[in-house]
Structures are given as C-alpha cells and as structure tokens.
Amino acid sequence: MEYREKYEEWLSDPYFDADTKAELKKIADDENEIKERFYKDLEFGTAGLRGVIGAGTNRLNIYTVRKATQGLANYILKKGMQDKGVAIAYDSRRMSPEFADEAALCLGANGIRAYVFESLRPTPELSYAVRELGCAAGINITASHNPPEYNGYKVYWEDGAQITPPHDKGIMDEVKAVTDYNTVKTMGLEEAKAAGLYKVIGAEIDDSYIAQLKTQVIHQDAIDAVKKELKIVYSPLHGTGNIPARRVLGELGFENVYVVKEQELPDGEFPTVSYPNPEAAEAFELGLKLAKEVDADLILATDPDADRLGVYVKDTKSGEYKVLTGNMSGCLLADYEIGQRLAVSGSLPEDGYLIKTIVTSNLADAIAKEYGVGLIEVLTGFKFIGQQILGFETSGKGQYLFGFEESYGCLIGTHARDKDAIVATMALCEAAAYYRTQGKTLWDAMLDLYEKYGYYKDAVQSITLKGIEGLQKIQEILETLRKNPPTEVGGYQVLKVRDYQDGTVKDLATNETGGTGLPKSNVLYYELTDDAWLCVRPSGTEPKVKFYYGIKGQSLEDADAKSEKLGKEVLAMIDQML
C-alpha cells in the first residue's frame, strides 16, 4: 500500500481516535511530511522501537506501541511463557507513562500479566526486575539520550538482557506479521486490574535492587574514612537517576552530594540541554558551575534512563575539571574493580573475563593482559555482553568480572544484564574515596593508568543524515568502503579488514581470510599499525553513521596530536563520500 493510501486509511478508519486524525489533518497539504510518516512502518529492530512521537506508521504512538506489543505477546504465547508475566518500566519522556500502560493493557488482553512500575525507573532496574520477578520478558519505554521529540520501546528477555538471537528475530517476525491494527488486542485499565493482569510494583523492587548494588562495594573502609571530605556533584539530566543514585550514595555514607537543581526533576522537554546526552559538553555546564562553587572532587551525570554515566574529575594540580570519556571511565573502573578484588582476595578466577565491544578502547585489552584474565570482544550493544554472562551461567564455564562499552556504559555485578549508571555512580565514588586515602584524585589514577599501560586515546566522528535519502546515503558509504577498502588511514597502514556483514577477517599482507566469530552486522573494522584502529557502523538508534577510531601515544600530548591527525583524516575521507 502506498503512503498516501495509508494516510487516508488512518483518517477514515474508526479504529484511530479523534486526536490522531486531527493531527493528521493538519499536515494534509504537506506531501513530504505525509510521506515521512507513512512511507514505511516504524521498524521493530533488534532493540525494539525508537522514533519521533506522532501519528503515522513511521512514528511512535499508542497504535505502533500496541502493534509491537501484540507481536511480543504472540511470541510469548508461542513459547508457552504467558504465565511468567512481563515487567514494564518507563522514563521521563513525553508519553512514556501512556505508552507503558498501552503495552500493559495489550498484554493483559492477551492473558499475560504486566508488572508496571508505579513511576519512572532506570533502565537497569527494569533489567533487574525481569530477573527478580521471574518474568518472560520486559519492556522499557525510553529513548535514552535522544532529543525530546523521540521515544522508544526496548524489549528484554527472561535473562534481563535486551533481546538477542534467536528471540530477537522471532519477536521481529511476529511484529511484522501484525499487518491490521484492528486485530491488535487491548482492554480497560480497571478491567485489567480486577483480573490480576495489571500489577503495580515499586518499593519492594527498589529496596532489593539497591541492596544488590551495595554488595559490590569493595572498600567501605575508604568511604568511611573520607565520607565527610569527598564532594560530589550529580545531575540526573531531568531523568530517572535522581532518587536511586542519591539513595545509594547516601546509604553508603557519602555526606556531600550536591544535586544540580535546574536538572533535578523529571522533565521530558529537557529544558536545560538541546539533548540529554552525558557525552555532550553542554550537559555539564550547570554541573561544572556548581562544582566550582562547592569545590567538588567529581561531577557525575546520568542520561534520562540512567544506563549511561558521564564524568568530570578535578585535577588538583591545575584546578581544572577533566572530562573522562566512556573509554576512560570504563577502563578506570575495570582496573579498579579487577585490581582491588585481586588485592583484597589475593586471587582472581582462573576463568574470569573482561568483556568489551569492538568499538571500545584497546586499553581494555592491556588491562586484561596485566591481570591475566580473559578478554571477550562482542558487537556493539550491551545486550551482547549480557549474552556472554548468560553463556557463563548456562555452561558453568567462565566468570564475569567486568564489562563495558565506549558509549558511557558498564555493569558491575550480574544483578542486571544491561549497563547500569547507578552502580557505576556508586563505584566511581567508591574509587574516588579509595584513591583519596592513597593521596590521589581520580585524575591522578587515570594518569597512573596511562603511565602503566600506554597513552591510549579513542574518539568518534558522527555524521547525521536524516530521512529516506539519509538512510540511503549511509548504506552507500558502507558499500563504497566495502568495494574500495582503504590500505592506509592517517599515516597508519591497514593490517587487517574485518567485515562483520560477511563475517570475514582479511589479512592485507598475506591475503589470508578468517572468520570474525561474531554474528553478522553492517560494520567494518580496520586494524592499523601501532595499535591504532578505525571502525565504521550505522547508529542503531539515530540517523547517523559513526566512525570510531583509537591510537596509542607516548604521552598525553602525543596521544592528543595523533588522535587529532587521525580524526582529520577520517573527516576528509567522509567528505569524499558525501
């Protein structure tokens, strides 16, 4: 059916409500807008749905949420898991509570109980709740750090991780099979509650979740020693992290936690930032201002669904606050968690593993080697780290020590199977306390890490290409690189080319080809000389193509210069393809 026909159908079909039709009538004279909204269905991908909120098949609305949920319900019913129920959480975004209820009522109409949080909660707590309640699946209504016009719908399976093979394909197929919105089931809220199909959850899960986080503390003694001195500035960026982050820090004894007031309360408009991403410098402007007023030791900011953590730390020598990238904070925590567990217990598991994604710093490899633990690389997406943990559990072989990805996400412990910015907040504050007892700041600890392992520096260049044409251009860029792979980038020779689409690794010197050992994905990776690398992949959540790269320098200045040079070469390469 052509987009115009779909548009007319939504205007005429009594299934769609009056507000939806009124919104669509306003764009009657805008052919491009009609096309954008109806030229395709909002794609249910391996992470679920994410899109702009609005009426239309290519938008996130109550109908596309119901449709996705009907597909999920059909899959759960086919698996005979309907008695286990589904946990549902949501963040502070526009329409998040409404979408959560629509999903719950669709599940209820299919005979599947929904456990719905009473108010907004972090993504990692949803992951925890799925496991704690023994659910078949979980749904989280969030668009993470996207701009305010977006929302999303993430699906988790019974292990608490976002869906991976074979369940992702199975659910995607069921969602695609729902072609008539009139076949999607729903029911009334009071009817669902009366039937025991809509159960509100809250404090009991909160208490259990926070208790689990506190079991990961290694040096309570260090916290006790400096809890009156260490000063922490924290911002939830108008999202879900405010209550749990402050609660866990308070219960551990930290006395000087200063919250950025302008960003404290939930607000789906995110009025203080253009978009609520802790990777962006603007997200820290207010936090830095407060930090200077109170002379804080570190500044922390979690994204709206509190799975990513951004960090600035004070350099007492210069008085400046230094930003830690996701690679830097992840490696700092990896070294702290693994190193201190070794120091305290005297040994590490023989089959212990550090897990990272393919676009994460090679500094992680050096840390794993130093401690004699295994290193596992997975595709981008924390669900693949969760999948490895599940593999350890089901096989009885392998123990999870730490896992992280460059996009500001890590997991300490196995209480959840997604990145957890609440436990990361707790651990970084603990690490700050520990290093303070050693006469060091977190920045000192980061410099020690570089001095020990090498001055690794990693960065990413993103190009946004919106709309139908943008999507086509992104595919063209990947295909151009496939057909004409570079042999040199920024003065570095290409040693090997990994093409995750066809699962091959080609050695350019010998022309020998091996396998990647990972699932197929539209990603290209270039291993370069001098421990440098470049990786190209489309974003899974935004209309972007991303170019990740990393180098190893001899000093901070050398690493900065090498990274800047490689970054310019990457941008020049992109310009030639646009």
Where residue 174 sits, what CATH number does that domain have? Answer: 3.40.120.10
Which pLDDT score is estimated for 138? Answer: 98
Cβ neighbourhood burial of 376 (10 Å; 0-12, 13-18, 19+): middle
More confident position, 44 or 468: 44
Query: Does the pLDDT at position 393 exceed 90?
Result: yes
The catalytic residue among 92, 96, 127, 144 is 144
Round to whole Å and give the CA distance between 537 and 523.
5
Which CATH number characterizes residue 558's domain? Answer: 3.30.310
Mean pLDDT for the stretch of residues 423-450: 98
Q: What is the pLDDT of residues 63-117, one digit of tens each?
A: 999 999 999 999 999 999 999 999 999 999 999 999 999 999 999 999 999 999 9
What integer pLDDT is reported at residue 475 of this predicted model? 85
CA distance linking residue 359 with residue 366, whole number of Å: 15
- Nearest CA to 173 among 44, 60, 1, 58? 44
- Burial class for 46, CB neighbours closer than 10 Å (0-12, 13-18, 19+): buried
Q: Is residue 188 part of a domain?
A: yes
**pLDDT tens by residue, 251-279:** 999 999 999 999 999 999 999 999 899 99
Residue 496 confidence (pLDDT) = 95
Residues 29-53: what's their mean pLDDT? 91
Measured distance CA(479)–CA(161) in Å, rounded = 31
Per the CB < 8 A criterion, the answer to whether 407 and 310 are in contact is no
Q: In what order do the strands lie in the sheet with 48-52?
A: 48-52, 150-157, 137-141, 86-90, 114-117, 198-201
State residue 199 phi and psi, 5-degree precision.
-115, 125
Residue count of the chain: 578
**144 part of the active site:** yes
**Which of 236-245, 328-337, 487-496 is predicted with the least confidence, judged by mean pLDDT?**
487-496
Look over the chain and give the mean of its residue pLDDT values, rounded to a whole number: 95
Full strand arrangement of the beta sheet holding 352-357: 374-378, 352-357, 399-405, 409-411
Domain final position from 206, 236, 262: 206
> What is the structure's pLDDT at 561?
95
CA atoms of 471 and 474, how far apart (whole Å): 5
pLDDT at 320: 96
What's the rounded mean pLDDT across residues 14-35?
94
With a cut of 80, say whether residue 470 has pLDDT above it. no
What pLDDT, on the 0 to 100 scale, is given for residue 541? 65
Instruction: Please choose, from the candidates 309, 301, 307, 352, the residue with its C-alpha nearest in 3D space to the C-alpha of residue 332.
Output: 309
Residue 303: pLDDT band (50, 70, 90) is very high
**Contact criterion met (CB below 8 Å) for 503 and 543:** no
Strand bridging mode 455-464 / 544-553: antiparallel
Of 239, 244, 273, nearest to 425 (Cα)? 244
- What pLDDT score was predicted for residue 1? 64
For residue 577, what pLDDT is reported? Answer: 76
**HEC string of 451-482?**
HHHCEEEEEEEEEECCHHHHHHHHHHHHHHHH
Give the C-alpha separation, 119 to 201, whole Å: 9
What is the percentage of the chain residues whose pLDDT exceeds 70? 99
3-state secondary structure of 372: coil
CB 181 within 8 A of CB 102: no
Confirm whether 531 is domain-assigned: yes
The predicted model gives 345-357 an average pLDDT of: 97
Amino acid 319: pLDDT: 93
Q: For 400, how many CA atoms within 13 A lie in the half-sphere containing its CB?
A: 24
Q: At 124, which helix (H) or strand (E)?
A: helix 123-132
User: ∠ at Cα 539 (59, 495), nearest 5°?
Assistant: 160
Is 339 contained in some domain? no
Residue type, 33: E
pLDDT above 90: percentage of residues in the chain:
88
| Mean pLDDT (whole number) for 501-516 | 94
pLDDT (tens digit, 9 = 90+) per residue, 286-300?
999 999 999 999 999
Is 430 within the bounds of a domain? no
β-bridge partners, 524: 499, 536
Question: Which of 206, 237, 270 marks a domain boundary?
Answer: 206
User: Confidence class of residue 576 from pLDDT cuts 50, 70 and 90?
Assistant: confident
Q: In this structure, is residue 367 part of a structural domain?
A: no
Strand partners, 140: 89, 154
Tell me the average pLDDT across 360-376. Answer: 97
pLDDT recorded at residue 471: 79
Closest CA relative to residue 130, chosen from 390, 379, 401, 309: 390
Examine residue 256 and state whether it is found in any structural domain, yes or no.
no
At residue 576, the 3 state secondary structure works out as helix
Residue 425 placed within a domain? no
Six-digit token string for 544: 């972007």
How many domains does the chain fold into? 2
Weakest mean pLDDT among 313-327, 497-511, 537-551: 537-551
pLDDT band at 467 (very low <50, low <70, confident <90, very high): confident
Strand partners, 179: none
**Cα of 556 vs its chain's centroid, Å:** 28
pTM for the whole structure: 0.94
- What is the structure's pLDDT at 490? 87
Q: For residues 237 and 255, what is the distance between their CA atoms, to the nearest angstrom?
A: 21
The band of 447, judged by pLDDT with boundaries at 50, 70 and 90, is very high
Burial 271-280 (b: 16+ CB within 10 A, else e): ebbebbbbbb
Question: What are the tokens at 150?
Answer: 């977006």
Q: Which residues contact 80 (CB under 8 A, 6 or more apart)?
A: none
DSSP 122: -
Of the given ranges (173-177, 183-187, 234-238, 471-475), which has the lowest mean pLDDT?
471-475
Place of tokens 């600890």: 445
Give the pLDDT score at 189.
97
Beta-sheet strands, E only, within 62-136: 86-90, 114-117
The Cα-based distances of 183 to 15, 107, 178, 294 in angstroms read 10, 13, 8, 58
Contact 521, 382 (CB under 8 A): no
> CA nearest 309: which of 336, 275, 271, 277?
277
**pLDDT (0 to 100) of residue 46:** 77
Is the pLDDT score of 48 beyond 70? yes
Are the beta carbons of 356 and 326 closer than 8 angstroms? Answer: no
Please give the residue range of the domain that contains residue 540: 455-577
Q: Which helix (H) or strand (E) holds 442?
A: helix 442-453
Of 171, 206, 241, the residue that ends a domain is 206
Detail the DSSP E strand segments found in 194-252. 198-201, 232-235
Mean pLDDT of 551-563: 95
Phi, psi of 174 (to 5 degrees): -65, -40
Return d(Cα 461, Cα 473) in angstroms, integer.
16
